[in-house]
């Protein structure tokens, strides 16, 4: 298991456990993960792991660490996938070259970031490390830190490991270090545990060494893996023409320190082109991303015995199903495509009781996986049609009875419709229709243990026969159809008998309060922010839109979770549009693309990648000292920072910062509805006034029920731009 021993050969976590690949396919994984195609032409290559972004290395790393690492990467970081490109040099020459490249990399800094460094607690960091899932790839640690991460001490400048853990995909876009949705306090605690607080080595950059280092960076072909603007790289022979008794395989040139087994696997992959079925490609991707460290699929993967003790739950009575991530067997036939996208691309979770978190790997790493899973795992369809008008009362009543204490008593173990079960707190059943495909639901309900061995859920239809014979005539098919229909009602469904509603009223005290979860005013990925004094707003993180403003009480929350909770404003809110708010439109008169709307009649999202296809990508948020978040997201290549302040009890002030690569115009859809222009830069609806300042605006029909939309044209220059807007509540 990773971390149980320091391995000299390149460590690919997914290949260390019970993986499903034969020797040749293992070799193909190694070729992709070690970036052989960066220097060699590789036949049939479809993907390659991306190397870390070094464009801001001087703001993150320590000079002393860089010198040591570049001089001998395998000694400083056993198991690294970076080759020793200086290994063939005499010792004195190696020292000079590594020092010069270190000075060059340390000269690459980001713009000044004046946010204070948050000092964490090492003991709490140790708990987080062993709780959220780090052990799956890095192994169990001790009081001094994790074994396979021992190189981290001394690597980062103070506060920078915390920053990296908060947004690892910014530096490592390949997703091999995924985003675990850690808060700023958690990342600070992890830094204290893994790295301690070490003052960076005092040292002044030598301009001459920086210049020499830049030349050496190119000379030793570092640019083959690390994109560094105008730096050029050279190419070697075709990989199939490489003599396996020379070069990288035996430590000459780029020394990977390959083990004998790794060399044989690569040789097997090169012997003749490896043919991959769609099923093989799924296995490769799950191995490369090490999904199989937590999830089993068919007869491979799953939590290893030596780390099983670190998988915990807040609902022990639910058994292993509440603490061990679910199997991925037939997962493409289990989840609806739009829900699969939410899980993989947004990290959506329905198991708040499970302490191990579902990572986010990034779009580049996951590209094509949902479609492959849907193809490979296709299941027979089951017809569960909605009842017609005549039979609707019977079917609806049957589903309602089955869920409650007079039927199968499902609510004794499951939450329902945002309300907690009086017993165990299993996942909310109302999500069933949104999540699951009917064929999988039908088969699972008839034999839960077959699909989830060890699950404590009873089998209410053994051998296909209903245990409850008094509801729906004891007809298995009709009972399952009635349950499916009940779940399809969503939030409008009646509460089953025996369920009590006890929402939690959350309050704001002397600091800004933040709550994440699902909401009718902010979608599946909602963020509620409350300010002392009673001003509040909600933000749709999925689409990047300010979606509601209200004053008075904060929110009522029905679930406690890591991001899949349920909240609603405690007071009547002013609802704003939840469509994407920014576009790099070429023509201001183009129709604004609206968020897809699903209905009971059309429950499938016609455009599940709606925000992505329009350039939007959420990049997280950072909390200030007062708890106020600065939201970070993209519109294409434009990086946006978005921060709100309570200017008074009725005025919400909003400030944007835009980091653009080139000059242009960004269109901001500031308001929709029945809009009146009061004066230049001042617009209002019945409930809200916008003060836009000096900005070019376009007020035009929105095409929806006679309403209008207000567009703001924001001119951008390269790099830093700012823009401000105030929202005044009128009621």
Which neighbouring-strand residues pair with 629? 623
**Token digits for 462?**
């053994």
Instruction: Give the residue, 256 or 603, on which the prediction is more confident.
Output: 256
- Lookup result for tokens 């570092």: 222
Query: For 400-434, how does the pLDDT look when each residue is reduced to its tens digit (9 = 90+)?
Result: 999 998 999 999 889 998 888 887 889 999 999 99
pLDDT of residue 404: 93
Task: Return the minimum-mean-pLDDT range out of 163-172, 474-483, 601-610, 680-689.
Answer: 601-610
Using CA atoms, how far apart are residues 658 and 634, in angstroms rounded to an integer?
A: 9
Task: Return the minimum-mean-pLDDT range out of 206-210, 241-245, 549-553, 563-567.
Answer: 563-567
pLDDT of residue 6: 41
Query: For 161-214, how does the pLDDT look when each residue is reduced to its tens digit (9 = 90+)?
Result: 999 999 999 999 999 999 998 988 899 999 999 988 666 554 689 999 999 999
End-to-end CA distance of the chain: 61
Q: Taking CA 703 as the corner, what is the angle to CA 702 and CA 705, rounded to the nearest 5 degrees?
A: 100
pTM of the model: 0.70
Task: Return the minimum-mean-pLDDT range out of 53-67, 240-254, 669-683.
Answer: 240-254
- Yes or no: say if 710 and 698 are a contact pair by the CB < 8 Å rule: yes
Residue 504 has pLDDT above 80, yes or no: no
3-state DSSP helix/strand/coil % of the chain, to nearest 5: 35, 20, 45
Burial 40-75 (b: 16+ CB within 10 A, else e): bebeeeebbbbbbebbbbbbbbbbbbbbbbbbebbe
Task: Return the minimum-mean-pLDDT range out of 108-112, 414-418, 425-429, 698-702.
Answer: 108-112
Residue 1 has pLDDT above 60, yes or no: no
In sequence order, what are the residues at sequence separation of 6 or more whose Cβ sits closer than 8 angstroms to the Cβ of residue 705?
none
Residue 3 has pLDDT above 60, yes or no: no
Query: For 430-460, how does the pLDDT look when each residue is reduced to its tens digit (9 = 90+)?
Result: 999 999 999 999 999 999 988 888 788 888 9
Residue 11 has pLDDT above 60, yes or no: yes
pLDDT of residue 4: 37
pLDDT of residue 301: 96
- Yes or no: say if 78 and 6 are a contact pair by the CB < 8 Å rule: yes
Query: For 18-29, how does the pLDDT look when each residue is reduced to its tens digit (9 = 90+)?
Result: 999 999 999 999
- Yes or no: say if 644 and 621 are a contact pair by the CB < 8 Å rule: no
pLDDT band at residue 117 under the 50/70/90 scheme: confident
Percent of the chain with pLDDT over 90: 65
Task: Return the minimum-mean-pLDDT range out of 55-64, 244-253, 356-365, 440-449.
Answer: 244-253
pLDDT of residue 626: 84
- Yes or no: say if 642 and 631 are a contact pair by the CB < 8 Å rule: yes
Q: What is the DSSP string of 601-653?
A: SS-S-S-TTHHHHTTEEEEEEEE-TTS-EEEEEEETTEEEEEEEEE-SSSEEE
Which neighbouring-strand residues pair with 504? 557
Burial 5-25 (b: 16+ CB within 10 A, else e): eebebbbbbbbbbebbbeebb
């Amino acid at each position: 298991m990773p971390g149980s021993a320091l391995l000299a050969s390149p460590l690919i976590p997914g290949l260390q456990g019970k993986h499903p690949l034969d020797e040749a396919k293992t070799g193909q994984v190694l070729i992709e993960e070690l970036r052989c195609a960066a220097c060699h032409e590789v036949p049939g290559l479809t993907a390659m792991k991306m190397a870390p972004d070094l464009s801001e290395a001087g703001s993150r790393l320590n000079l002393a660490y860089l010198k040591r690492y570049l001089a001998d990467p395998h000694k400083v970081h056993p198991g690294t996938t970076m080759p020793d490109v200086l290994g063939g040099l005499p010792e004195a020459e190696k020292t000079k070259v590594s020092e010069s490249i270190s000075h060059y990399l340390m000269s690459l800094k980001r713009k000044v970031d004046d946010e204070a460094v948050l000092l964490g607690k090492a003991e709490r960091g140790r708990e987080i490390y062993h709780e959220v899932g780090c052990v799956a790839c890095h192994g169990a640690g001790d009081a001094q830190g994790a074994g396979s991460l021992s190189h981290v001490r001394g690597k980062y400048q103070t506060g920078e490991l915390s920053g990296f853990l908060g947004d690892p995909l910014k530096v490592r876009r390949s997703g091999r270090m995924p985003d675990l949705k850690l808060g700023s306090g958690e990342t600070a605690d992890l830094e204290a545990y893994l790295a301690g607080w070490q003052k960076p080595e005092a040292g002044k950059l030598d301009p001459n060494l920086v210049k020499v280092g830049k030349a050496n960076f190119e000379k030793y072909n570092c640019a083959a893996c690390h994109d560094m603007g105008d730096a050029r790289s050279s190419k070697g022979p075709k990989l199939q023409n490489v003599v396996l008794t020379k070069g990288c395989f035996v430590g000459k040139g780029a020394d990977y320190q390959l083990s004998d087994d790794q060399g044989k696997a690569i040789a097997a992959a090169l012997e003749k082109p490896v043919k991959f079925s769609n099923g093989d490609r799924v296995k490769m991707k799950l191995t490369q991303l090490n999904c199989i460290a937590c999830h089993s699929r068919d007869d491979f993967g799953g939590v290893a015995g030596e780390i099983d003790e670190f998988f915990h739950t807040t609902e022990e009575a639910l058994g292993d199903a509440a603490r061990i991530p679910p199997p991925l067997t037939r997962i493409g036939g289990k989840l609806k495509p739009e829900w699969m996208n939410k899980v993989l691309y947004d990290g959506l979770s329905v198991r708040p009781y499970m302490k191990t978190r579902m990572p986010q790997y990034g779009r580049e790493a996951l590209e094509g996986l949902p479609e492959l899973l849907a193809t490979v795992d296709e299941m027979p369809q089951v017809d569960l049609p909605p009842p017609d008008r005549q039979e609707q009362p019977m079917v609806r009543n049957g589903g309602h009875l089955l869920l409650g204490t007079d039927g199968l008593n499902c609510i004794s173990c499951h939450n329902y419709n945002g309300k907690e079960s009086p017993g165990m707190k299993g996942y909310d059943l109302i999500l069933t229709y949104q999540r699951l495909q009917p064929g999988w639901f039908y088969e699972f309900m008839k034999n839960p243990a077959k699909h989830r061995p060890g699950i404590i859920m009873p089998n209410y239809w053994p051998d296909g026969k209903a245990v409850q014979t008094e509801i729906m005539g004891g007809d298995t098919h009709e009972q399952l159809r009635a349950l499916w229909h009940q779940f399809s009602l969503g939030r409008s469904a009646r509460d089953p008998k025996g369920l009590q509603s006890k929402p939690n009223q959350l309050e704001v005290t002397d600091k800004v309060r933040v709550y994440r979860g699902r909401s009718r005013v902010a979608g599946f990925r909602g963020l509620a922010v409350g300010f002392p004094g009673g001003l509040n707003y909600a933000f749709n993180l999925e689409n990047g839109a300010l979606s509601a403003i209200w004053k008075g009480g904060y929110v009522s929350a029905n679930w406690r979770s890591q991001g899949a909770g349920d909240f609603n404003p405690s007071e009547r809110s002013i609802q704003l549009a939840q469509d994407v708010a920014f576009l790099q439109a070429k023509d201001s008169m183009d129709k604004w693309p609206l968020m897809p709307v699903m209905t009971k009649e059309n429950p499938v999202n016609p455009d599940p990648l709606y925000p992505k296809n329009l350039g939007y990508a959420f990049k997280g948020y950072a909390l200030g000292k007062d708890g106020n978040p600065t939201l970070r997201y993209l519109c294409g290549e434009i990086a946006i920072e978005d921060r709100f302040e309570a200017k008074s009890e009725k005025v919400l002030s909003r400030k944007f910062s835009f980091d653009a690569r080139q000059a242009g115009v960004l269109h901001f859809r500031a308001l929709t509805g029945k809009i009146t222009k009061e004066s230049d830069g001042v617009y209002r609806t019945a409930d809200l006034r916008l003060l836009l300042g000096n900005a070019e605006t376009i007020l035009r029909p929105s095409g929806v029920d006679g309403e209008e939309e207000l567009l703001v044209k924001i001119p951008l220059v390269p790099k830093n731009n700012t823009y401000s807007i105030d929202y005044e509540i009128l009621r």
